[in-house]
Chain A
């Protein structure tokens, strides 16, 4: 199956700093990438959808100036959490889709802890 990687897998940062998370499709071209956030023992919450070369579409309630998403190529999307605060601590997961049946392939996730 298709492989999606995320980097870093874990990151700890201080409040007020910015953190960038990378999502890569390793063996296919991802025309669309999705970013999710997952709270402990909860399901995934879609944050935004990004298409290569276009601005990301954010879900209601997600601050686009705080969660900057870039999808510069068909294999790479980045999520930057700007001016991070402890409440931004969470598990962030990306997925990529490039097939006709809209199947999504998920990355292993990034655990962000803001101190």
Chain B
């Protein structure tokens, strides 16, 4: 059974610091891994999707790495801003799951001005 864990559960940093969010998964037979952002009371916004054959993806200040063999992904957010405050979720798509995502519990981030 696939388990997805996100550490830490909550994180508070001053504006300008870099954010490092961790995601680990127990079954390396994944098709891809996605990072999402969720604002309070809102739906999910896809940030980055990494295919299992890729090592990393970048979009602006965001960079996500994937080490499938060790079951880890890291989301880096450079030069954090108060607008980055949100909950960040990672989700893996198993190769045998017919498109179903397995979510972690999320990391709640607060960036203080």
Binding between chains A and B: yes
Q: Which residues of A contact B (CB under 8 A)?
A: 1, 6, 32, 34, 42-44, 46, 49, 91, 93, 95, 97, 101-109, 111
- For the side of the interface on B, what is the size category? 20 to 34
> Can you offer 14 A-B residue contacts whose CB atoms are under 8 A?
A34-B99, A42-B105, A43-B105, A44-B44, A101-B49, A101-B51, A102-B32, A102-B93, A103-B32, A106-B36, A106-B44, A108-B42, A109-B41, A109-B43
Please indicate the chain B residues that have their CB under 8 angstroms from the CB of A102 in the complex: 31-32, 93, 99
Distance between A49 CB and nearest chain B CB, rounded to angstroms: 6
Please name the residue on chain A nearest to B108 by beta carbon. A41
Q: Which of B42, B46, B100 touches A103 (beta carbons < 8 Å)? A: B46
Interface of B is mostly: strand
**In the complex, A101 Cα to B93 Cα: how many Å?**
10
Please name the residue on chain B nearest to A91 by beta carbon. B41
Q: Is B101's CB within 8 Å of the partner chain A?
A: yes
**In the complex, A70 Cα to B17 Cα: how many Å?**
46
**In the complex, A97 Cα to B32 Cα: how many Å?**
14
B31, B98, B101 interface centre (most CB from chain A within 10 Å): B101
Residue pair A101, B32 in contact (C-beta under 8 Å): yes
Q: Which of B46, B49, B93, B106 touches A106 (beta carbons < 8 Å)? A: B46
**In the complex, A76 Cα to B34 Cα: how many Å?**
24
Distance between A1 CB and nearest chain B CB, rounded to angstroms: 7
0/1 string, B62-73, CB within 8 A of A gives 1: 000000000000
Please indicate the chain A residues that have their CB under 8 angstroms from the CB of B31 in the complex: 101-102
**In the complex, A111 Cα to B42 Cα: how many Å?**
9
User: Could you tell me which residues of chain B, from 30 to 64, have a CB within 8 Å of some CB in chain A?
Assistant: 31-32, 34, 36, 41-46, 49, 51
**In the complex, A103 Cα to B35 Cα: how many Å?**
11
Please indicate the chain A residues that have their CB under 8 angstroms from the CB of B106 in the complex: 43
**In the complex, A46 Cα to B94 Cα: how many Å?**
14
